[in-house]
Amino acid sequence: MTEKDILNLIAEKLSDILEIDDLVVTRDSSADDFEDWDSINHVRLLISIETALNISFKSGEVGMIENVGELADLIASKTKSA
Amino acid sequence: MQPDLLSCAWLPQPAENWRTVLKALDPGDQDLGWRLRAHAMCQLSPEQSRALGRLQTKALAQGNALQGLTPFRLGIAASDTFAFVTDCLPAAALRHGLALQEIVGDYGQVAQSVLSPQSPLLAARCDAVLIAVDHRWLGLSGSGDGKAENGLAMIEQLAATLRDAHGITAIVQTLPVPPDTCYGNQDVAHGDTPHAQVAAFNAGLVALARRTGAYLLDVARLAALVGTARWFNPVPHFNYKAPFDPSCAPIYADWLCRLIGAIRGTSAKCLVLDLDNTLWGGVIGDDGVTGIVVGQGSARGEAHLALQRTAKALRKRGVFLAVASKNDDANARAPFRDHSEMVLREGDFAVFQANWTDKAANLKAIAKTLNIGVDALVFVDDNPAERELIRQSLPAVRVLELPEDPAWYAWLLEASGWFETVGVTEEDKARADMQAADTARQKILEQTDGIDSYLASLEMVATIEPVSAANRQRVTQLINKTNQFNLTTRRYTEQDVAAFETDPDVLAVCLRLADRFGDLGIVAVMICRADTPVQWSIDSFLMSCRVLGRQVEDALFGTVAALLRDRGATTVFGTYIPTAKNGMVSDLLDRLGFTAPTGDAPYTLDLDTHTPHPTFVRVDLTAP
């Protein structure tokens, strides 16, 4: 997966979860930029990505993500090794 | 490949344009309830389920009555993050004919949600409250004796408070055996291990549910089916405080909603079976009775036989069986008569439709014969084209998706949970035999020359008795399952019914009918309430369609009118609440002699001048 694919996937899942059509994200986007991106929607996002890519975040990893860029890097590290 | 239980493998994949079709649905559409229900009949992700839920909420906010769906308010008191599950609830509920509204208590505040009088859960007037706690919350994760008893005492306190203080039924969960171990293989032999404590808890919970009138959600069974190694995945538990692996949420939601469906009477009532390559291998018209594959000795024959056994077991607990097959009638019946390995016999089927007409027409005929809606049919056919035809032309029918290998047919039918039940009554067990007696009655009708001599020849005896602990389960079942002959379609739980029994301002009676062909069991219920000492209203008046056209409603009402007069009533009010299914009672009150209303006023009957209709039903009254 290229970084662009990963960002597209994150945007697609976020768009479903936050109910915003054609949502756009960059590496710098974070929960502060979206009113409804609360902790439960954050969990929804992570689980939908885990399901879509058949990967699993390690315990603790999910608490360290600060923005979309860090999430994309984490996903990239897991899809590469798979 | 093995069908994936987790994603509800008995359902088809959603269509490519699923989301586009959903977006085109109009929240104000009169048929939206039916459309949502059909749209939920496939394997859906949590996101897709939430999208269905949003449309449902929007429609309800606009005042859409959502015809075709039964409303249900479910409170949830959960020990862990429950959003994974609630995301999956809208699709699961719609699939089981429910418009579910869930009210979730505060995170982790299980006891407060139930015990605190200020709890939003209690203010919401829920129809039931799910107590979703796991072995950790109940303190069964470490070793130690007596923990099961403590856990049970906590659950009992919650269930009893809900019932006694708020009149709400609890739904309680059995516990899956956690992976926690002390002695490995010897865990099962020691009373102080989590394994043994959970087993003791589950055994105690069954008795607790019976005592408190709570409903059982068998999570232990579900987790065993999907595998506890997956169920207790520790990562999402630590990362997200998930009660179980989130991949199990869709099937958990389906299990919960099938239980609620059974409580509200939306479970299916008839299993419609194809014959060739479904009940046996091969084509009877080509292969003949000796050429079809069924029975012991061949893997395929045993697989088809397994489906027959499942069907036979369903029939024994009151599910109707029907055949819908493209065949000549004589060919189709031959194996049931002449093949020694067949488990199902001709007499097991309530309706047998073997002809060359399209299956949609045959399914409609089956529903009509049995006096049920097509939404109460489950259709099993190995042919994908026939399944698709039914999905397109009769979207309310529950069509079982099947892989090519017949080994999965029985397995998937059982996994679907479409015939879920909350209590098997004596009437259920006897229903199949009653159907045979119906056929005998039908013969008499054909032989006698007039309806009066037919009714007289039936020698009907109605026993009218107060609703009590002895008949409460069946009365509740009738209240929740009767759709057609039902004046108001008000649904009540067993607890509600129990409350009527002791309320001096309520008269609740039921009617048991017997005739020369046998006992038909309890077939009608009537509930009246006192508005003032002299003015009473009909709250509920319902009757099983099996006894239509036999003057039973006249006999029941005549007796109830007399009982009300004994209590000092002079006037009875009645209201007809129309639904999609109860058109047959739109003129019931007129027929019984009520004066039709003007404007919003109810129907009125003056008891002083009322004379009951004479009937051919002899009434035995057990005085309330």
Return the HEC string of A16-63: HHHCCCCCCCCCCCCHHHCCCCCHHHHHHHHHHHHHHHCCCCCCCHHH
Rg (CA), chain A: 12
Chain B within 8 Å of A22 (Cβ-Cβ)?
Answer: no
Cβ–Cβ below 8 Å for B239 and A62: yes
Cβ–Cβ below 8 Å for A47 and B83: no
Tokens 């639904």 label which residue?
A: B579
ipTM above 0.85, yes or no: no
Is B460 exposed, middle or buried (CB count within 10 Å of its CB: 0-12, 13-18, 19+)? buried
- Give how far the C-alpha of residue B134 lies from the chain's centroid of Cα atoms, to the nearest Å: 26
pLDDT tens digits for range B210-253: 888 899 999 999 999 999 999 999 988 988 889 999 999 999 99
Which pLDDT band holds residue B389 (cuts at 50, 70, 90)?
Answer: very high
Which pLDDT band holds residue B444 (cuts at 50, 70, 90)?
Answer: low
Cβ–Cβ below 8 Å for B83 and A40: yes
Q: Which of A36, A44, A53 to mutate to test the interface with B (most CBs of B within 10 A)?
A: A44
Tell me, what's the pLDDT at B519?
Answer: 81
User: What is the Cβ-side half-sphere exposure of residue B501, based on CA atoms within 13 angstroms?
Assistant: 18
B444-467 average pLDDT score: 79
Tell me, what's the pLDDT at B475?
Answer: 94
* Strand order through the sheet with B98-104: B98-104, B70-78, B128-132, B169-173, B215-217
Above 90 in pLDDT, residue B81? no
Tell me, what's the pLDDT at B301?
Answer: 94
Tell me, what's the pLDDT at B371?
Answer: 87
Q: Locate the chain B residue with the closest alpha carbon to A16.
A: B47
Sign of the C-alpha dihedral computed for residues B402, B405, B409 and B412 taken in this order: negative
Chain B within 8 Å of A31 (Cβ-Cβ)?
Answer: no
Q: Which two tokens stand for residue B130?
A: 């799910």
Tell me, what's the pLDDT at B364?
Answer: 94
Distance from CA of B260 to the nearest CA of A (A): 26
Question: What are the distances in angstroms from CA B376 to CA B182, B265, B316, B435?
Answer: 48, 10, 18, 17
* Residue from B101, B106, B108 nearest B126 by CA: B101
- Give how far the C-alpha of residue A59 lies from the chain's centroid of Cα atoms, to the nearest Å: 16
Above 60 in pLDDT, residue B448? no
Q: Could you give the CA distance from residue B253 to residue B95 in angstroms, rounded to a whole number?
A: 11
Chain B within 8 Å of A57 (Cβ-Cβ)?
Answer: yes
In chain B, which residues have their Cβ closer than 8 Å to the Cβ of A46?
Answer: 239-240
Tell me, what's the pLDDT at B215?
Answer: 94
Q: Could you give the CA distance from residue B404 to residue B415 in angstroms, rounded to a whole number?
A: 17
- Using N-to-C axis directions, what is the helix angle for B249-264 and B46-61, rounded to 10°? 40
**Residue partners of B214: CB distance under 8 A and separation at least 6:** B159, B163, B169, B170, B171, B172, B208
pLDDT tens digits for range B20-62: 999 999 999 999 999 999 999 999 999 999 999 999 999 999 9
Distance from CA of A2 to the nearest CA of B (A): 25
Q: Which of A10, A47, A55, A64 to mutate to test the interface with B (most CBs of B within 10 A)?
A: A47
Residues paired with A7 in a beta bridge: none
Which pLDDT band holds residue B429 (cuts at 50, 70, 90)?
Answer: low
Q: Which of B6, B45, B239 to mutate to test the interface with A (most CBs of A within 10 A)?
A: B239
User: Three-state SS for B61?
Assistant: helix
Cβ–Cβ below 8 Å for B235 and A46: no
User: Three-state SS for B293?
Assistant: strand
Point out the residue among B47, B246, B247 whose CB comes nearest to the CB of A17: B47
In chain B, which residues have their Cβ closer than 8 Å to the Cβ of A48?
Answer: 45-47
Query: Chains A and B: how many Cβ contacts under 8 Å?
Result: 37
Sign of the C-alpha dihedral computed for residues B267, B270, B273 and B279 taken in this order: positive
Instruction: Return the minimum-mean-pLDDT range out of B107-121, B278-292, B358-372.
Output: B107-121
Low-confidence ranges of chain A (pLDDT < 50): 82
Element (DSSP H or E) covering residue B88: helix B83-95
Chain B within 8 Å of A75 (Cβ-Cβ)?
Answer: no
Point out the residue among A16, A19, A56 whose CB comes nearest to the CB of B235: A56
Contact B105, B120 (CB under 8 A): yes
Alpha helices for B171-233 (secondary structure H): 194-212, 219-226, 228-231
Above 50 in pLDDT, residue B68? yes
Above 70 in pLDDT, residue B432? no
Q: Which of A23, A43, A65 to mutate to test the interface with B (most CBs of B within 10 A)?
A: A43
Distance from CA of B117 to the nearest CA of A (A): 27
Q: Could you give the CA distance from residue B256 to residue B86 in angstroms, rounded to a whole number?
A: 11
Cβ–Cβ below 8 Å for B47 and A57: no
B383-387 average pLDDT score: 93
Contact B33, B373 (CB under 8 A): no
Chain B within 8 Å of A46 (Cβ-Cβ)?
Answer: yes
User: Three-state SS for B7?
Assistant: helix
B575-601 average pLDDT score: 89
Q: Locate the chain A residue with the closest alpha carbon to B236.
A: A59
Instruction: Return the minimum-mean-pLDDT range out of B131-140, B197-206, B447-456.
Output: B447-456
User: Per DSSP, which regions of B448-602 are E strands?
Assistant: 460-466, 506-515, 518-530, 535-543, 571-574
Distance from CA of A73 to the nearest CA of B (A): 19
Q: Could you give the CA distance from residue A8 to residue B159 in angstroms, rounded to a whole number?
A: 48
Tell me, what's the pLDDT at A82?
Answer: 46
Alpha helices for B265-358 (secondary structure H): 284-291, 299-316, 329-338
Above 90 in pLDDT, residue B423? no
3 state SS for B248-273: HHHHHHHHHHHHHHHHHCCCCCEEEE
Cβ–Cβ below 8 Å for A51 and B236: no
Tell me, what's the pLDDT at B144?
Answer: 75
Q: Could you give the CA distance from residue B288 to residue B334 in angstroms, rounded to a whole number?
A: 9
Tell me, what's the pLDDT at B113?
Answer: 86
Q: Could you give the CA distance from residue B224 to residue B229 in angstroms, rounded to a whole number?
A: 9
pLDDT > 90: percent of chain B: 71
Mean predicted lDDT score pLDDT of chain B: 91
pTM for the model: 0.78
How many distinct helices (H) and strands (E) make up chain B?
Answer: 24, 17
Contact B490, B534 (CB under 8 A): no
Q: Which two tokens stand for residue B572?
A: 């009875």
Above 50 in pLDDT, residue B161? yes
B563-581 average pLDDT score: 92
Above 90 in pLDDT, residue B597? no
**Residue partners of B188: CB distance under 8 A and separation at least 6:** B195, B196
Tell me, what's the pLDDT at B142?
Answer: 77
Contact B68, B33 (CB under 8 A): yes
In chain B, which residues have their Cβ closer than 8 Å to the Cβ of A13?
Answer: 47
Tell me, what's the pLDDT at B147?
Answer: 86
Tell me, what's the pLDDT at A63?
Answer: 77
- Dihedral, B300, B305, B307, B313 alpha carbons, nearest 10: -160
Residues paired with B574 in a beta bridge: B603
Q: Locate the chain A residue with the closest alpha carbon to B249.
A: A47
Tell me, what's the pLDDT at A37?
Answer: 87
In chain A, which residues have their Cβ closer than 8 Å to the Cβ of B247?
Answer: 51
Distance from CA of B621 to the nearest CA of A (A): 59
